[in-house]
Amino acid sequence: MGKSVLLIEDEPNIIEAISFILSRDGWSVATHSNGHDAVGVVVESRPDIVILDVMLPGKTGYEILRELREAEGLADLPVLMLTAKGQVKDREMAERAGASRFMTKPFSNAEVLEAVRDLVIG
């Protein structure tokens, strides 16, 4: 497969779990854990998909996503948003910011893998 994922998440257990299941499926997984320079990391690494947590130190996932959608060449980058808050308003904020898909924590490994495959491979 050889596809790359950038996981922007600050929770070590989630980083470990998602990295493991995606790597096992043949994905190349890079991780980043703060919002301050997350946009720069995406621009520099140009992954096939970004998995983006909503609550990050420095900047929210919504702010990062809005910046990504405005950046040249990144408007169509698949972004899977993760959040511990699954209320309707959170989902609406993610959609307005341009999320490709929205997933609430806790999630199953199969859900993440399926979402990533759907968003990148189709």
Return the domain boundaries, the chain.
4-120
pLDDT digits 0-9 by tens, 8-25? 999 999 999 999 999 999
Q: What is the rounded CA–CA span in Å between residue 87 and residue 45?
A: 32
pLDDT at 87 > cutoff 90:
no
Residue in the block written with tokens 């997933």: 103
| CB distance 59 to 73 below 8 Å | no
- Top CATH class of 4-120 equals alpha beta
Please, what is the average pLDDT of the chain? Answer: 94
Q: What is the rounded CA–CA span in Å between residue 58 and residue 116?
A: 26
* Confidence class for position 2, pLDDT limits 50, 70, 90: low
Burial class (CB in 10 A: 0-12, 13-18, 19+), 46: exposed
User: What is the pTM (predicted TM-score) of this model?
Assistant: 0.96
Q: DSSP labels for 96-115?
A: HHT-SEEEESS--HHHHHHH
Mean pLDDT of 42-68: 96
Structure tokens at 59: 């900047």
pLDDT at 1 > cutoff 60:
no
